[in-house]
Amino acid sequence: MVWIASLSGSGAVRTFSSIPQTFTHLQLRVFLRDTFSGAATNAFVRFNGDAGSNYAYHYLNGNGSSAASGASLSQSYLPIGNDPAGTSTANVYGSFIVDILDYTNTNKNKTTRTLGGFDANGSGIVSLYSGLWLNTAAITSIQCGADSLGDAPGTYLSLYGITTSSVTGA
């Protein structure tokens, strides 16, 4: 795994651009809190600036007392999980690991898998998401943020490149 870039601070959507096309997969690591006045919102990604209805996903969430699952088609972004918002317990951030598979392969649509969540002294959530970007273009940029478009100070994103082994293929 090779570190590519990191973005931090506060604001709206952050963009990794000019992503090298020399890896097999990408891994995005997100540490995020929203400024929205509700309890939790969705963290999201978009690829190559595409804000059209070209994303689909499945999810499984658990909060310690119940579980939920679902799916959605024709979305304008790809949710990666719930992040704590402005009225959540102070100083609680969501953490997400987003694997972006075969991001340079122009013969297929792009897929993601995400594991993430947060704990707010027993009121958090853990999530597993699978995502699909209905586009065969190589991914050259990634936008990430909260769907309220306001990330709190302390938000931090890192992007890593993963190369497969020529010996094992893994």
Residue 119 CB burial class (10 angstroms; 0-12, 13-18, ≥19): middle
Q: Is the pTM of this model over 0.75?
A: yes
Q: Which pLDDT score is estimated for 39? A: 61
164, two tokens: 């497969």
Q: Which pLDDT score is estimated for 164? A: 78
* 100-133 pLDDT tens trace: 999 999 999 999 999 999 887 777 899 999 999 9
Distance CA 150, CA 6 (A): 18
* 35-85 pLDDT tens trace: 776 666 788 999 999 999 999 999 999 988 999 999 999 999 999 988 877
Q: What domains appear along the chain, each with residue ranges and CATH number?
A: 2-162 (2.60.120)
Contact call for residues 48 and 140 (beta carbons, < 8 A) = yes
pLDDT > 60? residue 167 = no
